[in-house]
Amino acid sequence: MKSSLFVISGAALAFVAIVHAQSGRSYGPSRVWWESGQGGILPWEEDYDDPEGIVGILNERGAVHTDEHPFFQALGTNKRACITCHQPANAMSLSAAVIAKRWEETEGKDPLFAAIDGSNCPSLPQDARESHSLLLERGLFRIALPWPPKDVRPDFKIEVVQDPTGCNTSREFGLKSAKPAISVFRRPRLAANLKYLTSEGVGEAHGIRLMADGREPSLRSQAITAVLGHEQATAPPTAEQLRQIVAFERQIFVAQSADMRGGLLTENDGPSILGPNNVSQGKNGVLFEKVSYAGWQGPGRLQDGLQKDFRDSVVRGGDVFFRRPFSLEGRAGATCATCHNQNSGTAWMNIGTTNQASADLPLFRVTCDSGKVILTQDPGRGLISGKCADVGSIVLQQFRGLAARAPYFSNGSAKTLRQVIDYYDERYKIGYTEAEKADLANFLKVL
Ligand code: HEC
Ligand code: HEC
């Protein structure tokens, strides 16, 4: 027993040593959890272990001095900064595993768990672990949105059917409070690779929109809301602070950079879009476009069996993603890429993820003027547009660094990439074979 344990940990260490030797480094990152206001330098390039291998970040404009930097410094009253919820080690998002670890390390005292949106509802006893269960178990923050939206006449009514957090029926925070609001619970999205989603200057969004409901028109407006909301500031950030935040977000890139089985993903003659460096240099569309894996199949490469098997599986997984057809609501010949493609023209869609009722999430009954009734735990885009047709629609996320930031979907309902694939397989009756599912998961893991 003892000796077999030794063998396993020995193998794991050997892997780490190999990857570090291949990348020309003998050291790991100096820190994993980045605290607001800790100061110091975020290097030009940095690698972090994740459950599948290594995720890498790259700052295109060089190392970032964080001491006075508004992305890294708390600008409000609760000691949080942007970095609190957008951690380099988690692909500039936050994994539920890291959140739970942070709770243990700080006995729930980290600013991450601030009552405002790091708990199920600010009115709950904040010392109790259960009051933060949605954040700890699903990685979800509370997003409170005014209802009805400003200057919009909605074409549906909304009622609270189930309210496990108490926040939607609360006299202080709920739908019938002095400032009527709907609380939904969502995953943080990547504050990276944003050069491809936004324009220069204020960072106006194009193609894929910002936030699960597309409510922020630009990185600038998003940062103002984040400082006043998540950071509970009493005044908006200055023009100079906003400029620095937007400039930082548009020059930081993340992607998986090594895989436990596939080895380095950043070799010079490897696939041209893997790894943070390739992402930073890529053209528009790099977040979803077909990947060429030609470099992996070339001659003269030393590959042991495991590495070659894994890389072949990734190549096949790419084919499943881009080519394996299934029928999408009656239309034959769809693939994953039908929707996950920057030029698909639609930023938000309802794929049923928000219609799954769950005992720990709120549930709303939406009654449209047409008479249609929808049950949903997050009306998504409908909360912004006020349109029945948008109820339950969520803005597609970018796919980078997936291995470093489980769980998935805006409501964190898929714990693993395999669960994401099973969700689609069931919903669209795709009929993937076990081999296709494994290949598809491997493809997603190396992005
Ligand atoms: C308490 C955690 C928290 C803090 C602090 C925080 N964010 Fe976020 N961030 C989130 C969540 C949750 C979302 C998704 C919200 C939604 O979809 O409605 C998000 C979304 C974003 C997005 C959208 C990305 C996309 O592709 O849609 C950007 C950009 C972003 N945050 C930047 C920032 C900046 C800049 C700051 C600091 C000013 C900041 N965040 C502070 C939790 C946080
Ligand atoms: C009909 C359009 C559509 C199709 C087809 C589709 N997706 Fe999605 N996908 C979406 C939307 C919309 C979301 C956001 C849903 C949410 O977060 O609730 C999403 C989210 C995801 C996510 C979560 C990303 C994250 O950051 O949490 C993954 C992974 C994913 N899809 C993979 C796939 C795979 C693999 C396939 C093929 C089996 C596929 N998708 C097919 C529309 C689609």
Question: In this predicted structure, what is the pLDDT of residue 25?
Answer: 41
pLDDT at 5 exceeding the cut of 70: no
Ligand 2 neighbours (beta carbon < 6 A) = 328, 334, 336, 338-340, 349, 351, 353, 394, 396-397, 408-410, 420-421, 424, 440, 444
Interatomic CA distance for residues 71 and 77, integer angstroms: 15
pLDDT tens digits along 361-389: 999 999 999 999 999 999 999 999 999 99
148 upstream amide cis, omega within 30 of 0: yes
- Residue where the block lists tokens 């410094």: 73
Burial class (CB in 10 A: 0-12, 13-18, 19+), 421: buried
pLDDT > 90: percent of the chain: 76
42 and 56 in contact (C-beta within 8 Å)?
no
Question: In this predicted structure, what is the pLDDT of residue 174?
Answer: 97
Tokens of residue 277, six digits: 């460096």
The answer, yes or no, to whether any atom of ligand 1 lies below 6 A from the CB of 211, is yes
Question: In this predicted structure, what is the pLDDT of residue 149?
Answer: 96
Protein residue with its CA nearest to atom 12 in ligand 2? 349
pLDDT tens digits along 60-103: 999 999 999 999 999 999 999 999 999 999 999 999 999 999 99
Q: pLDDT-derived band of residue 256, with 50, 70 and 90 as boundaries?
A: very high
The average pLDDT across 43-70 equals 96
Q: Which of 191-205, 216-230, 351-365 has the lowest mean pLDDT?
A: 191-205
Name the residue among 208, 250, 447 with its Cα closest to residue 342.
Answer: 208
pLDDT tens digits along 297-330: 655 555 668 888 999 999 899 999 999 999 998 8
pLDDT at 27 exceeding the cut of 80: no
The average pLDDT across 340-347 equals 72
Q: Which ligand is nearest to the CA of 249?
A: 1
pLDDT tens digits along 199-224: 888 888 876 789 999 999 999 999 99
Residue 107: C-alpha distances to residues 103, 127, 142 (Å): 5, 9, 21
The answer, yes or no, to whether any atom of ligand 1 lies below 6 A from the CB of 143, is yes
The average pLDDT across 267-290 equals 77
Provide CB contacts within 8 A for 352, sequence distance 6+.
392, 427
CA atoms in the 13 A half-sphere facing the CB of 334: 18
Q: pLDDT-derived band of residue 188, with 50, 70 and 90 as boundaries?
A: very high
pLDDT at 182 exceeding the cut of 90: yes
- Residue to mutate (ligand 2; options 314, 396, 436; most atoms within 8 A of CB): 396
Q: pLDDT-derived band of residue 22, with 50, 70 and 90 as boundaries?
A: very low
Q: Which of 2-16, 147-161, 169-183, 413-427 has the lowest mean pLDDT?
A: 2-16
Q: Which ligand is nearest to the CA of 231?
A: 1
Q: CA 255 from chain center: how many Å?
A: 12
Question: In this predicted structure, what is the pLDDT of residue 303?
Answer: 60
- Residue to mutate (ligand 1; options 36, 66, 82, 405; most atoms within 8 A of CB): 82
Q: What's phi and psi for 273, nearest 5 deg? A: -120, 5
- Residue to mutate (ligand 1; options 73, 77, 79, 86; most atoms within 8 A of CB): 86
pLDDT > 70: percent of the chain: 87
Interatomic CA distance for residues 317 and 293, integer angstroms: 11
Interatomic CA distance for residues 256 and 58, integer angstroms: 11
pLDDT at 272 exceeding the cut of 90: no
Burial class (CB in 10 A: 0-12, 13-18, 19+), 405: buried
CA atoms in the 13 A half-sphere facing the CB of 213: 23
Question: In this predicted structure, what is the pLDDT of residue 343?
Answer: 63
Question: In this predicted structure, what is the pLDDT of residue 49?
Answer: 96
Q: CA 151 from chain center: how many Å?
A: 30
The answer, yes or no, to whether any atom of ligand 1 lies below 6 A from the CB of 242, is no
29 and 46 in contact (C-beta within 8 Å)?
yes
pLDDT at 289 exceeding the cut of 70: no
Interatomic CA distance for residues 34 and 36, integer angstroms: 7
378 and 186 in contact (C-beta within 8 Å)?
yes
pLDDT tens digits along 414-431: 999 999 999 999 999 999
User: Mean pLDDT across the chain, nearest whole number?
Assistant: 90
Question: In this predicted structure, what is the pLDDT of residue 301?
Answer: 59
- Measured in Å, residue 189 CA sits from the centre of ligand 1 at 6
End-to-end, the C-alpha distance of the chain in Å comes to: 36
- Measured in Å, residue 92 CA sits from the centre of ligand 2 at 19
Residue 320: C-alpha distances to residues 256, 258, 356, 422, 444 (Å): 20, 22, 26, 14, 11
**CA angle 12–15–21, rounded 5-degree value:** 145
Protein residue with its CA nearest to atom 13 in ligand 2? 396
Q: CA 102 from chain center: how many Å?
A: 18
Tokens of residue 18, six digits: 């190999």
Q: pLDDT-derived band of residue 16, with 50, 70 and 90 as boundaries?
A: very low
Question: In this predicted structure, what is the pLDDT of residue 197?
Answer: 87
Q: CA 186 from chain center: how many Å?
A: 10
391 and 350 in contact (C-beta within 8 Å)?
yes
Q: Which of 20-29, 106-115, 267-276, 344-353 has the lowest mean pLDDT?
A: 20-29
Tokens of residue 312, six digits: 């072949």
